Structures are given as structure tokens and as C-alpha cells.
Amino acid sequence: MSGNHAPKPAPAPLSSAPLAYENPEFLNSAEGRTIRLLAEYNEPMARFRRERIQDTVVFFGSARFRARDVAFQELELLENTGSVTLAPPEEQPARSGESEASELRHKRAEAAVEMANYYEDARTLARLMTQWSKGLPGRRHRFVITSGGGPGIMEAANRGAWEAGGKTIGLNIMLPFEQQPNPYITPSLNFNFHYFFMRKFWFAYLAKALVVFPGGFGTLDEMFELLTLDQTQKLSKPITIVIYGSSYWKKVINLEMLADKGAIAVKDLDLFQFADTPEEAFAILKDGLIRNHLEAEHPRSEAPIPEEPEADAQEILGPDIARTRSFRRGTNHPARG
């Protein structure tokens, strides 16, 4: 080599580059968004298939109320929808004997009794539905109670299904504030979503019936979204929609006026039915599910639903589906190719 320049040293050995699907910087980037979206479609689908979930009955309702002592119909008001943090003391319902509580707290106390009743009604209805659906023949679980996975009416729905010994689904959502799933969800059916629209997809995709309990913005959004899908015939199957608590809902929205003003067709009022007791709602749901789905389907096997989850593709098809070895350090678990 000519001149006085010293030879350039060889570069240090490079470490192996991370695999794309194990690279958190890429997966959490804007370029990885499509993969994250697919994950929120494919991962729930895989679990639903493995757990033999054929279809669902979805419960919507307020998440701001958490039962303290249902027997005494006392509630705590949460700071935000799905939060585990309590609202400020001045917004909490007044307790018995608090004569100097503010007017707001007295109003909340009156509402607390009503909301406690709705909690118990949702719990009872979910229990009735699960007791009935558990007796249906076939190898898949039918009409599984599903909620948004949080407190309030969502907890009541999961709780009723749990008390009846059935599987029950929670479709939770990541929110800016602290929140957690309720304890009554079947652990293998406890989901958490980043994207609201993927969560909404799973609410609608498996649903054969919907029960809308009293709630706020989120409940209104979810109810009108499914009503619109049904109205515009974008759902691939009939869906039975029950709006629970006519005295509450008829003060909040006037659906009849929409028809009177021509904003919706008169026949659109037939897309839903009101109910005011668990027994009334159960009768409507059972009739719709039998008429639209059980009687419309081909004759089904009388075999009972197996206790164990369904085998995955590897277990069913055997060695024809090869596993790829994992070269990740510190693990001997093979990854699928």
C-alpha cells in the first residue's frame, strides 16, 4: 500500500439483526401499523376458534358505576368510563343519613338505586341466557355472553354468565387512564385492544343478539352503530336487539320522533324491542335466536360441547405442518413457520 497511511482496521463483528416480527421498534412504528391491525384480527380469531366460540350475545351499558354492596343498592361513581379511579367525593351519591349533602349528591343517590337495579337485572339476564345456551347441543359454544370487559353493566353481564358456569368474553380497550378487566371474564377469553374499530368489529362479527342497558356516550355510540348496520343490511345474519329500561331510554332519546320526522323509516322501529325485566328480555332473545338461527340452521349433532379447547392446526394435522425452530436466546419453545 503506497504512502504513509496506516491500514484501516477491520470493523468489529456485527451482531445478528433482529427478525422483523421480533423488532419492537418496527412493530410499534407507523410502518408496523398494518401488522398490529392484523394481529388484532388474527389473534382473537385464533382464540375464538380454539375455545369453540360460535357466536355471542353482546351486552352494552354504563361503565361508570361499580357496585359496592348490591344488597344495599349502594354504588360508587367512577372518574371515567372504564376507569378504576373514583370520581371526586362531591360527585359521589349521598349515603343514607347524609342530610347536608349537596343537591347533586342527592340526585346521584336517587340514580344509584336505579343503576343498582340495572346491574342486578343485567346479571340475572346473563345468567338466564347462559343457563339456556349451555343446554344447546353441538360441539361449539352458542350465544356466549360478551361485554366490553370493564366495570358496571359489563361486569354484571360477565358475572351472571360466570355464575351460571358458562364461558364469557371481555373485549377490553386500552385507554389513557388506568383501567382493568373485571374478574368474571373467562381468562382465555380476556382480550385487550388498541384500536377501537377492531374492538367494534369483534362486537359485531360474532353477535347474534344485542342487549343495550342504560349508559352514556359509549353505549349510545355502540347501539347506533349496530342499529345502522342492521338498518342498512350490512350484517350477514339477523340480529335481535333489546333496549333495556324503557323509562331511561325514552327520556334520553326519542326514536319515535325520528320516524315521525322522516329521519328514519317507520319500519326501522321494528329493528329493536324494549324490555323492562330480565324475564321479558330473555323471552325476546330466546325467541329471536331460535327463530333466526337455531331453526334456520341445518340439523346439528346432539353431541355435548367438549370441556377442552379445540386442538390447533398442528395437533389436528400432525407433522405435515412443520414447526420452525426458534433461535431466540433463552428459550427452547419452537415458533410456527
CA distance 160 to 285: 16
Cα end-to-end span (Å), the chain: 49
Tens digit of pLDDT for each residue in 245-297? 999 999 999 999 999 999 999 999 999 999 999 999 999 999 999 999 998 77
CA distance 206 to 186: 17
Angle value at C-alpha 75, between 74 and 81, nearest 5 degrees: 170
Say whether pLDDT at 152 is over 80.
yes
Q: What is the DSSP string of 109-162?
A: HHHHHHHHHHHHHHHHHHHHHHHHHTTS-SSSB-SEEEE-SSSTHHHHHHHHHH
Give the per-residue SS3 of 13-30: CCCCCCCHHHCHHHHCCH
Tens digit of pLDDT for each residue in 119-143? 999 999 999 999 999 999 999 999 9
- Domain locations along the chain: 20-50, 51-298
Question: Which of 127, 107, 118, 124 shows the shortest CA–CA distance to 61?
Answer: 118
CA distance 310 to 290: 25
Q: In which band, very low, low, confident or very high, does the pLDDT at 212 lie, cut at 50, 70 and 90?
A: very high
| Residue 323 vs residue 187, higher pLDDT | 187
pLDDT value of residue 91: 61
Q: In which band, very low, low, confident or very high, does the pLDDT at 73 lie, cut at 50, 70 and 90?
A: very low
Q: Which pTM does this prediction carry?
A: 0.81
Q: What is the CATH number of domain 51-298?
A: 3.40.50.450
Instruction: Output the CA–CA distances (angstroms, integers) from residue 167 to 178, 293, 325, 328, 333, in the order listed.
Output: 26, 20, 34, 35, 29
Note whether 59 and 157 are within 8 A (CB).
Answer: yes
pLDDT value of residue 77: 53
pLDDT value of residue 170: 98
Tens digit of pLDDT for each residue in 11-57? 999 999 989 999 999 999 999 999 999 999 999 999 999 999 999 99
Residue type, 284: I
